[in-house]
Structure 1
Amino acid sequence: MSNVTFDNIFMGESSDLGKLRFNSAGFGWKSFKDESNTPSTFNGSDVRGAQWLRVARQFQLRLSMRTPDRPRLTFEGFRRDDFEKVKRTLSEYFGVTVDHRDVSLKGWNWGKATVQNQDIVFEVQHKPAFELPLGQVANSNIAGKNEVAIEFAPPAASGSNNNARQPDELVEVRFYVPGKSKKSKGSDAGSDDEEETEKDEEGNDISAAEAFHNLIKDKADLGATTGDSIVVFEDVLVLTPRGRFSLEFFPESLRLLGKSTDYRVPFTSINRIFLLPKLDDMHIQLVLGLDPAIRQGATRYPFLVAQWPKDEEVDAELNLDDEEIAKYPDLQKKYEAPTFQVISRVLKSLTGKKVTPPGSFRNAQGVNGIKANVKAVQGELYFLERGLIFIAKQPILIDFTKTESISFSRVGGGIASARTFDMRVLANEGPDHVFSAISKEEAGPISQFLASKNVRLKNEMDELEAADAMDIDDLSDDDDDDVSIMSEDEGRKKKKKQQQQAQPARRAADDEDESEDEDFMDEDSSDGGSVSDSDSEASGMESDASDPMMEELRKKSEARAKKKASGEADGAPKKKKAKKD
């Protein structure tokens, strides 16, 4: 056979199909997508071993190589019937035997995790369930008493097309490793009875999780965390992520070692360094901007915030000789100064990044920053020469070049809104930010500073005050009408009140009038009765005397008149006596 070709084959993790060809000198792969591309070729003498196993994209051929830059090559997309052809080709051309590996398909989440060559292999009943390449491990730390968290390098952002959706990738795996670490007494020992607990230098038992964590760090070559550190600062208070850590500086990275967590921060991921005094004038904060961010579970920390008292001093001596120190600018062998100055200077020399101090802004009390809230989170807002930074549990960094405008507004009503205002930052791209509960006296210094930085500013509070003044003028123009209306209302109320007060007197007078009227009517009626009777007699009552009814009425009238006359005569002294008493 001169050439053996397999079509529709994927190389590595690529999504492009291509053609894989073998000959006696070596093999090569070329994509179908772009025929002008040069194929990837490899020497057959570099092939050290081969494995055939079932994967998601049908079957995979895994080749172990002797080249250090490419220790392993994978090709996927083979059919089941291709096994014999692949096995015969590699045996005849390169003298390599293809091993058929069975994969566990049970889906169990318990098994045994080991490090084999350049992979972390998770086995279930002595069959591999999945493998994790150590070359892509970015960090490893003990997340709990028996948990080992392995973080992977995030995918590189595509600068050509920012709108393109990035593929989903695994960023963290946690292994629960209980128990103590065991080691064999001898090389021939194979049973648990011939194993003993592994101990550290101080004689303490080493947990299985710690032993697995150390093995991953050694095999994954996680920077210089396994070598000697340049300098160590103990018991540093870190606000984000919260805790106390030891800061260990290595030539290529910074390590944060806590009681239960261990973070490794490569210097290449540190893009910004800020040194800011707190508003209490007693502490100094060091803020590191990280890209990619460090993770703790599902929480990302794009900023690292540490804090020291302003008057705390430290004596530090670097574990470097004169030749190594000469490689770094402004790096000294020994430091004796405040802690925040020493750490910031060491960071500046090792990372090559500029340390950004607070800007020229001063608030009403002459301090660099102001107090503000973002939603329900209270923090400190600093005005830098090129942007804003809000220091809280999750800091926020805003660049003036990416800001469309900044507006002041007063939300709500009452005394609180009269003393404070809100500052809204409108961004050209991305979300807007609202900083609330800012003291009203800070509006002047903030306006002057933003105007000096040519930032577009809109003060809605001035517009509101102008509108209130116009409303007051309108009210003053209508004072006469209001007074006349009020006068009418007051007159109406006064009249109603007088009427209410006059009602009792009127009632008393009415009672008197009624009594006098009765007496008057009684007198009139008596007199009138006699007059009418006499008149009736004179007018011809006698002509009606023959009528029994008329006669009876006349008698009753006369009797009633006599009775009233006798009653008035008897009652007059009694009435006078009552008045006298």
Structure 2
Amino acid sequence: MALENFEGIYLDLSKQSGKCRFAETGLGWKPQGGGDTFTLDKSQLNQAIWSRASRGYEVKVLTREGQVYQLDGFQADDFDRLSKTFKSWYTLNLENKEHAIRGWNWGKADFAKAELVFNVQSRPAFELPYAEISNANLAGKNELAVEFSLPGDGDETGTNGHLGGARGHGKKAGGARDQLVEMRFYIPGTTTTKVKKGSDDEGSEDEGDAEEDRNAAERFYDELMAKADIGEVAGDSIIKFDDILHLTPRGRFEVDLYESFFRLRGKTYDYKVQYEQIKKFMILPKPDDVHHLITIGIDPPLRQGQTRYPFLVMQFKRDEADDYTLNMTEDTIKEKYNGKLQLEYNGQPIYNVMGNIFRGLTGKKIVQPSREFTSYHSQSGVKCSIKANEGFIFCLDRSFMFVPKPATYIAFDNIQTITMSRVGGAVSASRTFDLLITMKNGAQEHQFSNINREEQNALESFFRAKNLKTKNEMTDDSGALLAAAIQAGDLDSSDDEAGAARGSADEDSEEADEDFQGDSESDVAEEYDSAHESSDGDSDADMEDGDGDADDDDGGDDDTELAERPKKKSKTSK
């Protein structure tokens, strides 16, 4: 059998070079030092392209099924040999394409059968295989964000198994040190598309094609979604959950579960997440006795523009249940999933069904709040806030989890100290306290504020049980609290009034109390505060209403006193 052998060839950005062999029946590649052998039958070949590449010259092979394979490392003199080989054995012309090297970032995008080609002056600047695209989103009116699949392991390359690089979804990137994760296209203007016209309401048959103006970016997005395999598996989902409320990122999404990934479909964004990206899976009962939260940690995180979401937070009603049937057979469940899934889920809460199915598909352990912690109100979470964001902190067996936004995960192994402190004036300090978690190796500190003072004992007991180093800077010095209260104005009064009140506190009659309330400074303080806090002019209207009421009322000590004040001001003005 006639053969053509080439040494030092790389397949799909593989880390190791290998030996490439062409024969009449097809082609093959085997890495040096042993490993999986890649073969491609003659009947699968559809197109071959010769061009410059990173390690010399490259032969790109496109199959009839839309797969793309790259053989890199050829020399310039190998073109004639390869051209004769492809023409005589495979009846294919080895096309010689020169890439655009002007460095322009504007051009024309063409949708080929297997890849998106970006041309500059009719020359390809770069090509994007559809199978390497994991997601696409409209990031603006004229902007499209294209995300690329990432390998789960840096050792994964296109040579692993028989999937090849193009259908391996990110396995080609495993051979590269730097990885492209996102690319954005700016597509201005509108395009005109033809729409078929039917009969109108009056019954007249006006057949033909009508022209419709449409945003160019939206049309580009629809065509890319149709060409790429992002939408090819829409009917192969194992189960579908409709209209699931997400607190992070905010919105309602349809959740479709597949064998190796799940998808979130919303009105604006559409995400595709591989199960390999899931690092943590938690079911947290919300302290309102109404909802449950499913929190999924993802690495690399989801992105909406410049915002990253390392955690998904879904909210379910605790009593909301439904019936679900998986789109698979019982034999598949027994053989492939070892009985971890059920064919039917009837009458179970939705959050419980989703958690069990995720656990069966991903093999991830479901993390729940620690049994060693119970709050003052017999809940698993404690209400607090990070800066201006209110949420709940949950005590897990090995970590803390704050949800919903910003979702914050803190492992016990990375904590250096936990400081409990009282912040603010006497009133707020007596009711709430703060937790400052200092991390090891100078990492970012985490401060949780406005925790109810009733939760202090429960938290301290949990910290001791987990051997977490704790500092308590809160003191019960009543003198200090009294001084802070006086300074805050809670007990603001003159020395004489305070002395008189202490001397006759037990002897005051009911009439004296009423006189004291009417003559106190509280009325003046209310008028001052209302004028001070309002900044939009409402205070003027309130004061006018108050003056009107004072003029209309007849009699009364308070009304008389209010009516006398403007007279004093008028005398001063004179």
Instruction: Output the TM-score relative to the length of structure 2.
Output: 0.62
2:462 counterpart SS class: helix
Match for residue 400 of structure 2 among 370, 388, 401: 388
In the TM superposition, residue 258 of structure 1 has moved relative to its aligned partner by 1.5
- Indicate the residue corresponding to 1:118 in structure 2: 114
C-alpha distance in structure 2 between counterparts of 1:184 and 1:59, whole Å: 45
- Indicate the residue corresponding to 2:377 in structure 1: 365
Q: Which amino acid aligns with 1:393?
A: K
Q: Which amino acid aligns with 1:435?
A: F
- Indicate the residue corresponding to 2:150 in structure 1: 154
Q: Please give the per-residue CA displacement for 1:276-305, whole angstroms capped at 9, x wherever unaligned.
A: 233344433221222342222233222111
In the TM superposition, residue 238 of structure 1 has moved relative to its aligned partner by 1.1
In the TM superposition, residue 63 of structure 1 has moved relative to its aligned partner by 3.5
Change (3 A) 1:335 1:181: farther
CA contact (8 A) 2:329 2:343 kept: no
Q: Please give the per-residue CA displacement for 1:378-430, whole angstroms capped at 9, x wherever unaligned.
A: 43111112321111323122333x24544224376753556413231534796
Change (3 A) 1:309 1:26: closer
2:150 counterpart SS class: coil
CA contact (8 A) 2:298 2:310 kept: yes
C-alpha distance in structure 1 between counterparts of 2:287 and 2:216, whole Å: 46
C-alpha distance in structure 1 between counterparts of 2:361 and 2:446, whole Å: 34
C-alpha distance in structure 2 between counterparts of 1:110 and 1:176, whole Å: 9
Please provide the CA RMSD for this pair: 4.6
**Unaligned runs of at least 5 residues, structure 1:** 186-194, 200-204, 470-581
C-alpha distance in structure 2 between counterparts of 1:36 and 1:182, whole Å: 55
CA contact (8 A) 1:145 1:260 kept: no
Within 5 Å, which residues of 2 pair with 1:536-547? none
Change (3 A) 1:224 1:122: closer
User: Does residue 306 in structure 1 map to residue 314 in structure 2?
Assistant: yes
2:58 counterpart SS class: strand
1:307 counterpart SS class: strand
2:473 counterpart SS class: helix
Match for residue 442 of structure 1 among 448, 455, 459: 455
**Bigger shift: residues 126-135 or 340-349:** 340-349
Match for residue 439 of structure 2 among 420, 426, 431: 426
Q: Please give the per-residue CA displacement for 1:34-59, whole angstroms capped at 9, x wherever unaligned.
A: x7457967679576543222345554
1:103 counterpart SS class: coil
1:443 counterpart SS class: helix
**Unaligned runs of at least 5 residues, structure 2:** 157-174, 197-207, 481-574
Q: Please give the per-residue CA displacement for 1:220-273, whole angstroms capped at 9, x wherever unaligned.
A: 434874215555444332111112223334455433222111122344433433
Change (3 A) 1:404 1:286: closer
Change (3 A) 1:26 1:301: same
C-alpha distance in structure 2 between counterparts of 1:25 and 1:330, whole Å: 44
C-alpha distance in structure 2 between counterparts of 1:460 and 1:258, whole Å: 46
CA contact (8 A) 2:53 2:72 kept: no
Q: Which amino acid aligns with 1:60?
A: E
CA contact (8 A) 1:12 1:76 kept: no
CA contact (8 A) 2:237 2:327 kept: no
Within 5 Å, which residues of 2 pair with 1:183-332? 196=209, 209=217, 212-222=220-230, 225-227=233-235, 229=237, 231-311=239-319, 313-318=320-325, 320=327, 323=330, 327=334, 329=340, 331=342
Q: Which amino acid aligns with 1:274?
A: M
C-alpha distance in structure 2 between counterparts of 1:145 and 1:232, whole Å: 30
C-alpha distance in structure 2 between counterparts of 1:156 and 1:51, whole Å: 30
Aligned length: 443
CA contact (8 A) 2:281 2:296 kept: yes
In the TM superposition, residue 9 of structure 1 has moved relative to its aligned partner by 5.8
Within 5 Å, which residues of 2 pair with 1:454-465? 455-461=467-473
CA contact (8 A) 1:26 1:41 kept: no
C-alpha distance in structure 2 between counterparts of 1:285 and 1:75, whole Å: 49
C-alpha distance in structure 2 between counterparts of 1:442 and 1:39, whole Å: 59
Q: Which amino acid aligns with 1:227?
A: G
1:362 counterpart SS class: coil
Which structure's residues are more often helix, by fraction? Answer: 1
**Bigger shift: residues 439-448 or 88-97:** 88-97
Change (3 A) 1:112 1:139: same
Within 5 Å, which residues of 2 pair with 1:511-530? none
C-alpha distance in structure 2 between counterparts of 1:41 and 1:69, whole Å: 17
Q: Which amino acid aligns with 2:457?
A: G
C-alpha distance in structure 2 between counterparts of 1:221 and 1:309, whole Å: 34
1:445 counterpart SS class: helix
User: Does residue 140 in structure 1 map to residue 136 in structure 2?
Assistant: yes
Within 5 Å, which residues of 2 pair with 1:55-70? 55=53, 57-64=55-62
User: Does residue 173 in structure 1 map to residue 170 in structure 2?
Assistant: no
CA contact (8 A) 2:463 2:470 kept: no
C-alpha distance in structure 2 between counterparts of 1:49 and 1:92, whole Å: 14
Within 5 Å, which residues of 2 pair with 1:476-491? none
- Indicate the residue corresponding to 1:51 in structure 2: 49
Change (3 A) 1:373 1:65: same
Change (3 A) 1:87 1:227: same
Q: Which amino acid aligns with 1:385?
A: D
C-alpha distance in structure 1 between counterparts of 2:23 and 2:176, whole Å: 37
CA contact (8 A) 1:180 1:198 kept: no
C-alpha distance in structure 1 between counterparts of 2:261 and 2:14, whole Å: 31
In the TM superposition, residue 120 of structure 1 has moved relative to its aligned partner by 1.5
Q: Which amino acid aligns with 1:256?
A: L
2:461 counterpart SS class: helix
CA contact (8 A) 1:9 1:78 kept: no
1:306 counterpart SS class: strand
Q: Please give the per-residue CA displacement for 1:302-360, whole angstroms capped at 9, x wherever unaligned.
A: 2111223445x354443647747965645363644554444444544554544433323
- Indicate the residue corresponding to 1:13 in structure 2: 13
CA contact (8 A) 2:13 2:176 kept: no
Change (3 A) 1:443 1:302: same
Q: Please give the per-residue CA displacement for 1:533-569, whole angstroms capped at 9, x wherever unaligned.
A: xxxxxxxxxxxxxxxxxxxxxxxxxxxxxxxxxxxxx
1:451 counterpart SS class: helix
User: Does residue 374 in structure 1 map to residue 381 in structure 2?
Assistant: no
In the TM superposition, residue 128 of structure 1 has moved relative to its aligned partner by 2.0
- Indicate the residue corresponding to 2:548 in structure 1: none
Higher relative contact order (CA 8 A, sep 6+): 2
Q: Please give the per-residue CA displacement for 1:85-143, whole angstroms capped at 9, x wherever unaligned.
A: 65456556766532122333444444443332321212344432210122222223444
1:356 counterpart SS class: coil
CA contact (8 A) 2:29 2:37 kept: yes
Q: Which amino acid aligns with 1:367?
A: Q
C-alpha distance in structure 2 between counterparts of 1:197 and 1:206, whole Å: 13
Change (3 A) 1:93 1:224: closer
Instruction: Output the TM-score relative to the length of structure 1.
Output: 0.62
User: Which of the pair has more CA radius of gyration?
Assistant: 1
- Indicate the residue corresponding to 2:75 in structure 1: 78
